[in-house]
Amino acid sequence: MKEITFEEALSQLEAIVKKLEQSPTSLQDGLKLFDEGSGLILRLRKELEKAEQKVEFISKKLNNSTEEPGDQA
């Protein structure tokens, strides 16, 4: 199975939400869509957390490299 990108997963989630909001669905179909959407949310959240950790790491690295030797307390 091909791994989808963050943007593709987000687009799929948006389509599911739109479908649930606009189309009458059976309980079973609604639950199936809800389950699929929940899985996408977990995946997207995990990717966002990884991205946040990378940003924090890079920011710390930048801050450490721009400090003058006498700046550390």
Contacts of 34 (CB under 8 A, 6+ apart): 20
Please report, rounded to a whole number, the percentage of residues in the chain having pLDDT higher than 90. 74
Q: Where are the domains of the chain?
A: 6-66
Q: Which residue has the higher pLDDT, 39 or 73?
A: 39
Between helices 27-66 and 6-22, what is the axis angle to 10°? 140
pTM more than 0.85: no
The string of pLDDT tens digits covering residues 25-57 is: 899 999 999 999 999 999 999 999 999 999 999
